[in-house]
């Protein structure tokens, strides 16, 4: 549903065109220094504006509405609130009758019996990821000194994508992308078998991000073509350092102290300017739909900080869970 985590638990709310959106962070340890400025860097990375992203520009400054006192977290729930502005709701009303292919227009309608908010994708909007990125800023502080770096490897299958991006924008079409996330400094012993393996926890939250359709850890899908003698990572020292990283830093669902590595498949943006076929629920016929309006030609360009934040949220929870059972001593 709309919360994630066992100890460090985030609960989000909001729609693209409603009055506000935000996220509650429960289980946040007290005493973490936090100011509004801490959010600037990651929110800017997520922001639209560069070539291939939507021209909808907002000054997204989080309001620290609770759980903070004299510049530090208090231990009470932290609420990060954003107000929506610059919404143009008139663009979206007709998608109730003619659902856009690739979007949640139809499934949202089916799931919520027609009561869902269709404006700007409502609760399914990519704008919701703004809250994730903000929560990730706090999660990264909990994880300190663990560091997480996500970057785009390919757009439209190309590692040099300027040309294909320009051409695709010109054609009113869209592109997908491939991202890579590397986590360094993570100690061995995180992850909670059987069901809450590191891969399980990370994939759960990563697949919550709109447009993600695949994830692989370490060698991933290429491991299906390797021999065991190639894939197994030789262990080199008492810290568990391995010669290769085919396991992506995870054995038996538990971090092994090496760098954690995974890759994420991002589908092409569903919103395109080209005409598409869809069913018209009013006329009962398949029709051609042409969608105007602001959107990203390549949402993958904006997703790396979202992946990073989601990763941080899941790992912060695994860290706190790990702490819960390692401190007890018995005589």
Which residues inside 93-122 make contact with its own copies, applying CB under 8 A? 99-104, 106-108, 110-113, 115-117, 119, 122
Which position among 236, 283, 290, 293 is part of the footprint of its own copies (CB under 8 A)? 236
Query: Minimum distance from CB of 179 to its own copies (Å)?
Result: 9
Whichever of 50 and 288 has its CB closer to its own copies, that residue is 288
Query: Minimum distance from CB of 156 to its own copies (Å)?
Result: 6
Q: Is 260 in the site for its own copies (CB under 8 A)?
A: no
Q: What residues have CB less than 8 Å from 6, skipping those under 6 apart? A: 317, 321
Which residue is listed with tokens 């078998």? 193
Q: What is the DSSP letter of 33?
A: B
Tokens of 166: 């320009």
Residues 280-319 that bind its own copies (CB under 8 A): 281, 284, 286, 300, 319
Query: Minimum distance from CB of 64 to its own copies (Å)?
Result: 8
Q: Is 258 in the site for its own copies (CB under 8 A)?
A: no
Q: What residues have CB less than 8 Å from 317, skipping those under 6 apart? A: 4, 5, 6, 7, 8, 9, 27, 201
Q: Is 76 in the site for its own copies (CB under 8 A)?
A: yes
Whichever of 59 and 195 has its CB closer to its own copies, that residue is 195
Query: Minimum distance from CB of 131 to its own copies (Å)?
Result: 9
Question: Angle at Cα 107 formed by Cα 104 and Cα 113, nearest 5°?
Answer: 125
Which position among 43, 81, 186, 307 is part of the footprint of its own copies (CB under 8 A)? 81
x/- track of binding to its own copies for residues 116-155 (CB under 8 A):
xx-x--xxx---x------------xx-x---------x-
Q: Is 223 in the site for its own copies (CB under 8 A)?
A: yes
CB 306 within 8 A of CB 182: no
Q: What residues have CB less than 8 Å from 267, skipping those under 6 apart? A: 102, 176, 211, 212, 213
Tokens of 191: 């992850």
- Residue 88: how many other CB atoms lie within 10 Å: 12
Q: Is 91 in the site for its own copies (CB under 8 A)?
A: no
Query: Minimum distance from CB of 44 to its own copies (Å)?
Result: 23
Q: Is 327 in the site for its own copies (CB under 8 A)?
A: yes
Instruction: Give the SS3 label for residue 237.
Output: coil
Total number of residues that touch its own copies (CB under 8 A)? 161
**CA gap 260, 206 in Å, rounded:** 15
Question: Angle at Cα 28 formed by Cα 140 and Cα 61, nearest 5°?
Answer: 60
Whichever of 55 and 234 has its CB closer to its own copies, that residue is 234
Query: Minimum distance from CB of 96 to its own copies (Å)?
Result: 11
Q: For residue 286, count CB atoms less than 10 angstroms from its CB and return exposed for 0-12, middle for 13-18, buried for 19 or more.
A: exposed
Which position among 37, 159, 160, 234 is part of the footprint of its own copies (CB under 8 A)? 234
């Amino acid at each position: 549903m709309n919360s994630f985590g066992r100890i460090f638990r985030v609960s989000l709310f909001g729609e693209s065109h409603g009055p506000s959106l935000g996220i509650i962070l429960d289980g946040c340890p007290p005493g973490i220094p936090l100011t509004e400025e801490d959010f600037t860097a990651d929110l800017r990375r997520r922001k639209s504006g560069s070539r291939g992203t939507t021209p909808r520009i907002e000054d997204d400054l989080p309001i620290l509405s609770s759980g903070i006192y004299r510049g530090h977290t208090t231990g009470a729930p932290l609420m990060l609130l954003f107000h929506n502005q610059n919404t143009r709701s008139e663009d979206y009303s007709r998608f109730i009758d003619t659902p856009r292919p690739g979007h949640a227009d139809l499934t949202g309608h089916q799931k919520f019996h027609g009561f869902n908010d269709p404006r700007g994708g409502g609760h399914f909007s990519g704008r919701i990821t703004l809250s994730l990125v903000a929560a990730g800023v706090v999660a990264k502080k909990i994880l300190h000194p663990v560091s997480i770096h996500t970057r785009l490897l390919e757009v439209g299958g190309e590692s040099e994508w300027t040309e294909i991006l320009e051409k695709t924008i010109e054609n009113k079409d869209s592109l997908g992308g491939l991202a890579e996330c590397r986590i360094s400094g993570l100690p061995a012993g995180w992850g909670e078998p059987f069901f809450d393996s590191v891969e399980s926890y990370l994939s759960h939250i990563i697949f919550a991000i709109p447009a993600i359709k695949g994830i692989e850890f370490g060698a991933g899908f290429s491991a299906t073509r390797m021999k065991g003698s190639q894939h197994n990572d030789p262990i080199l020292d008492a810290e568990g350092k391995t010669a290769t990283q085919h396991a992506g830093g995870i054995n038996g669902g538990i971090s092994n102290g090496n760098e954690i590595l995974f890759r994420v498949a991002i589908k092409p943006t569903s919103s395109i300017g080209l005409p598409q076929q869809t069913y018209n629920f009013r006329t009962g016929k398949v029709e051609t739909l042409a969608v105007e309006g602001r959107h990203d030609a390549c949402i993958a360009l904006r997703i790396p900080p979202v992946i990073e934040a989601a990763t941080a949220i899941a790992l912060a929870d695994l860290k706190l869970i790990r702490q819960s059972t390692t401190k007890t001593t018995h005589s």
